[in-house]
Amino acid sequence: KPSIVHCLKLLMLLALGGVTMHVPDEDDVVASLGALRLDGHFSFDDAHAAARDFGNRCSLLPAAVLHPGSVSDVAATVRRVFQLGRSSPLTVAARGHGHSLLGQSQAAGGIVVKMESLAAAAARAVRVHGGASPHVDAPGGELWINVLHETLKHGLAPRSWTDYLHLTVGGTLSNAGVSGQAFRHGPQVSNVNQLEIVTGRGEVVTCSHEVNSDLFYAALGGLGQFGIITRARIALEPAPKMVRWIRVLYSDFETFTEDQEKLIASEKTFDYIEGFVIINRTGILNNWRTSFKPQDPVQASQFQSDGRVLYCLELTMNFNHDEADIMEQEVGALLSRLRYISSTLFYTDVTYLEFLDRVHTSELKLRAQGLWEVPHPWLNLLIPRSTVHKFAKEVFGKILKDSNNGPILLYPVNRTKWDNRTSVVIPDEEIFYLVGFLSSAPSSSGHGSVEHAMNLNNKIVDFCEKNGVGMKQYLAPYTTQKQWKAHFGARWETFERRKHTYDPLAILAPGQRIFPKAS
Ligand code: FAD
């Protein structure tokens, strides 16, 4: 059952801030919006489903759910709410796949737009274009896995991914979309050519690097604040058939990160570079090589971790069946430059689709054990290279020494691949690390509880703030404008100006808690 403590705090904050607390109900929505002619429909009986998310810690009931049958439905609804003006408390939240962590795709007493309904309604929803600059036009509510299935039919695929593909195009583009390809191609927001957006005034606008570029950059990483992304044009590349997927271990953080940085700096390198931290007692030590073959079975069986914190470098090299020999040579040459513990080289060959959809395989296993729909008090940080060692020493050496409850990702990316005209906030350094503490909280007390995980998260954030780590949060869970201003720093002014331009009444994405609805 979702904890509502955070949400209650939020409602109290709104009350203290002097915001009118009239929460609209079904009758209000019917009175306000009932006259709209729609291709789709409003529903009132699935409000509870729209009040849930992956974080499972916050549940805010909307007044209604819009199942749009066309882009016009989205535009007409937002336009109507805009026309109702300041006297109406109605807000509008686009809901992608609802994989937010703390109510970001929810709207208390507002309208949730189920973007997947729009994706399903569009005829031939995903359109692939080949040629010299291959690209795909995908509805904002389409899942990335479906985009991949469609593009693979043409031998093509998007270049930049998230680790998990059962997320929507509009949902990840509203954040950044980061995975092990980002060092080469940048995050997903760096791989978009054009967007179609319904602004907070209810206007449908097409924008790109050249046309309406301010809105284009605003919406990329814009946390849903400037408009609802109804379509995105995404760059494609030829898709490989196969992937050599490799894992090796380090016991020394410095050697691990030096090798990661060496790899992301090289022209000729792997196609995907990530890493994770293995803290003993989590059971992950025994899992990290499941379904992987050891390069040297005898040596591998003798490897003992001796209770140390270990760092796993995860790499892939793409190949087609007739290129297996070349791939073997290239992988060998690249691995020979690395300083991992030699007995810990493990690998497997899988199809490109299997590799990209890898987290879904874990999802199915966790679902079968009832461990997917538990609270997820995740913490995602972007840590500058210059402070990552100080950070690691404290966090892995002290704060998480004895316990943590989920994978910890840690890998570097290059700032040059991020476009600073977008709304994404990153540290001010050439190389920074994405560090994701992906905790699950399956029990209501003790080490598996939300409280325990939050206590550890708070200690980590506290350490960063008190020791000048220069960290920025990714998928930030802030609840006050003061926190958001600090997050955006010098970029707040632009963010606020764009909000006044494209969503002046602050109708959109209220669950991000950045701008209260104008009253
Ligand atoms: P939702 O949760 O539905 O929405 C997120 C926010 O975007 C909300 O504010 C919503 O109002 C807004 N929004 C949704 N759709 C639109 C739209 N069409 N137009 C405008 N605004 C919109 N992120 C990474 O970068 N890399 C990863 O590897 C990664 N792995 C993940 C793995 C898992 C298992 C999970 C649960 C999340 C992961 N994420 C990752 C985070 C993920 O990118 C975000 O949570 C993302 O918002 C989820 O997409 P969604 O479709 O579920 O969006």
219 Cα–ligand 1 center, Å = 14
Q: Does residue 99 line the site of ligand 1, with CB under 6 A? A: yes
185 Cα–ligand 1 center, Å = 19
Mean pLDDT, the chain, whole residue set: 92
Q: Does residue 95 line the site of ligand 1, with CB under 6 A? A: yes
CA angle 454, 412, 296 (to 5 degrees): 100
> CB-based contacts of 190: which residues, under 8 Å, 6+ apart?
160, 417, 418, 419
171 Cα–ligand 1 center, Å = 4
DSSP code per residue over 364-380: HHHHHTT-SSS----EE
β-bridge mates for residue 316, sequence order = 245, 272
| Exposure of 79 in the CB half-sphere (CA atoms within 13 A) | 13
Q: How confident is the model at residue 130 (pLDDT cuts 50, 70, 90)?
A: very high
> CB-based contacts of 11: which residues, under 8 Å, 6+ apart?
21, 108
CA distances from 13 to 108, 368, 480 (A): 14, 38, 8
State both tokens at 437: 């503490």
- Phi/psi of residue 28, nearest 5 degrees: -60, -45
CA nearest to 121, candidates 66, 174, 83, 176: 66
Confidence check: pLDDT of 2 > 60: no
CA nearest to 136, candidates 238, 237, 240, 233: 233
Q: Does residue 75 line the site of ligand 1, with CB under 6 A? A: no
CA nearest to 377, candidates 154, 95, 58, 158: 58
**Buried b or exposed e, range 380-415, using 16+ CB within 10 angstroms:** bbbbbbebbeebbebbbeebbeeebbbbbbbbbbbb
Q: Ligand 1, closest atom to CA 143?
A: 51
Q: What pLDDT does 280 receive?
A: 67
Give dist(CA 215, CA 209) in Å, integer.
10
Q: Residues 330-344: pLDDT tens digits?
A: 999 999 999 999 999
170 Cα–ligand 1 center, Å = 8
DSSP-assigned letter for residue 300: H
Confidence check: pLDDT of 4 > 50: no
- Pocket test residue of 73, 112, 144, 162 for ligand 1, highest count of atoms within 8 A of CB: 162
Q: How confident is the model at residue 459 (pLDDT cuts 50, 70, 90)?
A: very high
492-500's contacts with Cβ under 8 Å and 24+ in sequence apart are: 495/218, 495/225, 495/423, 498/214, 498/215, 498/218, 498/222, 498/225, 498/226, 498/423, 499/225, 499/226
Considering the domain 242-474, what is its CATH architecture? 3-Layer(aba) Sandwich (3.40)
Q: Does residue 352 line the site of ligand 1, with CB under 6 A? A: no
- Contact status, residue 256 vs residue 408, Cβ threshold 8 Å: no
Q: Whose CA is nearest to atom 13 of ligand 1?
A: 171
Confidence check: pLDDT of 132 > 70: yes
Q: Does residue 115 line the site of ligand 1, with CB under 6 A? A: yes
Q: Ligand 1, closest atom to CA 188?
A: 25
- Pocket test residue of 118, 167, 426 for ligand 1, highest count of atoms within 8 A of CB: 167
Q: Whose CA is nearest to atom 10 of ligand 1?
A: 105
Mean pLDDT across 175-180: 98
Residue in the structure block whose two tokens are 């904002």: 140
**Catalytic pick from 6, 97, 99, 376?**
99
484 Cα–ligand 1 center, Å = 18
99 Cα–ligand 1 center, Å = 6
Q: What pLDDT does 263 receive?
A: 98
DSSP-assigned letter for residue 166: S
Q: How confident is the model at residue 423 (pLDDT cuts 50, 70, 90)?
A: very high
| Catalytic (active site) residue 99 | yes
Q: Does residue 125 line the site of ligand 1, with CB under 6 A? A: no
346 Cα–ligand 1 center, Å = 32
Q: Whose CA is nearest to atom 49 of ligand 1?
A: 171
Q: Residues 70-98: pLDDT tens digits?
A: 999 999 999 999 999 999 999 999 999 99
**Catalytic pick from 46, 163, 296, 323?**
163
Better pLDDT: 294 or 369: 369
Candidates 3.60.15.10, 2.40.160.20, 3.30.465.10, 3.90.1530.10; CATH matching 120-238: 3.30.465.10
Q: Whose CA is nearest to atom 7 of ligand 1?
A: 171
> CB-based contacts of 490: which residues, under 8 Å, 6+ apart?
none
Given this chain, do its domains 120-238 and 242-474 carry the same CATH topology? no
Give dist(CA 500, CA 93) in Å, integer.
17
Range of weakest confidence among 195-204, 285-294, 345-354: 285-294
| Catalytic (active site) residue 163 | yes
Q: Residues 11-53: pLDDT tens digits?
A: 444 434 333 346 677 787 778 887 899 999 999 999 999 999 9
| Domains of the chain by residue range | 5-117+499-512, 120-238, 242-474
CA angle 243, 249, 254 (to 5 degrees): 115
Confidence check: pLDDT of 6 > 80: no
Query: What share of the chain in percent tops pLDDT 90?
Result: 84
Q: What pLDDT does 286 receive?
A: 53
Give dist(CA 107, CA 500) in Å, integer.
20
Q: What is the CATH number of domain 5-117+499-512?
A: 3.30.43.10
β-bridge mates for residue 185, sequence order = none
Q: How confident is the model at residue 124 (pLDDT cuts 50, 70, 90)?
A: low
Q: What pLDDT does 451 receive?
A: 95
Q: Ligand 1, closest atom to CA 376?
A: 36
Give dist(CA 155, CA 357) in Å, integer.
17
DSSP-assigned letter for residue 436: E
